[in-house]
Amino acid sequence: MSAQNTASSVDSELLLTTCKATAEALRLDILRVLSVESFGVMELCHIFDTAQPGMSHHLKILSSSGLLQTRREGNSIFYRRAAVSSENPISGLITSLFQSIDRIVLPQDISKRCQQIHRERAQNSMAFFKKNAARLKQNQDLIAQFSQYESCITDLLAKACPSNPKTVIEVGPGESDLIGFLSKRFGSLLAVDNADEMLNRTRDKVELLGLKNVEFFSGELSDLEAPHGADMIVLNMVLHHLPSPAGVFKSAHRILEPQGQLLIVDLCSHNQDWARDTCGDLWLGFDPNDLDQWAEDAKLEKGQGAYLGLRNGFQVQVRLYQQTSN
Q: 159 with 228, same domain?
A: yes
Residue 11: give the domain boundaries.
3-106
Q: 289 with 150, same domain?
A: yes
Residue at 57 is within a domain: yes
The average confidence (pLDDT) of the chain is 87
Q: 193 with 58, same domain?
A: no
Q: 100 with 173, same domain?
A: no
Q: 274 with 207, same domain?
A: yes
Residue at 209 is within a domain: yes
Pairing status of strand 315-323 against strand 230-236: unpaired
| pLDDT tens, residue by residue, 66-82 | 999 888 877 788 998 98
Q: 158 with 99, same domain?
A: no
Residues composing the chain: 326
Residue at 228 is within a domain: yes
Q: 78 with 155, same domain?
A: no
Write the CATH number for 203. Answer: 3.40.50.150
Secondary structure of the chain in HEC code, one letter for each residue = CCHHHHHHHHHHHHHHHHHHHCCCHHHHHHHHHCCCCCEEHHHHHHHHCCCHHHHHHHHHHHHHCCCEEEEEECCEEEEEECCCCCCCCCHHHHHHHHHHHCCCCCCHHHHHHHHHHHHHHHHHHHHHHHHHHHHHHHHHCCCCCHHHCHHHHHHHHHHHCCCCCCEEEEECCCCCCCHHHHHHHCCEEEEEECCHHHHHHHHHHHHHHCCCCEEEEECCHHHCCHHHCEEEEEEECCHHHCCCHHHHHHHHHHHEEEEEEEEEEEEECCCCCHHHHHHCCCCCCECHHHHHHHHHHCCEEEEEEEEEECCCCCEEEEEEEEECCC
Residue at 120 is within a domain: no
Which of the pair, 273 or 168, is modelled with greater confidence?
168
Write the CATH number for 87. Answer: 1.10.10.10
What is the total count of domains within the chain? Answer: 2
Residue at 279 is within a domain: yes
Q: 226 with 264, same domain?
A: yes
Q: 140 with 99, same domain?
A: no
In this prediction, residue 277 carries a pLDDT of 77
Which of the pair, 138 or 117, is modelled with greater confidence?
117
Q: Tell me the mean pLDDT in the region 197-216.
A: 95
Q: 230 with 102, same domain?
A: no
| pLDDT tens, residue by residue, 288-302 | 999 999 999 999 999
pTM of the model: 0.76
Crossing angle for the helix pair 3-21 and 91-101, to the nearest 10 degrees? 10
| pLDDT tens, residue by residue, 140-154 | 777 788 888 888 898
**pLDDT reading at 315 higher than 70:** yes
Q: 102 with 148, same domain?
A: no
Q: 171 with 235, same domain?
A: yes
**pLDDT reading at 84 higher than 90:** no
Residue at 182 is within a domain: yes
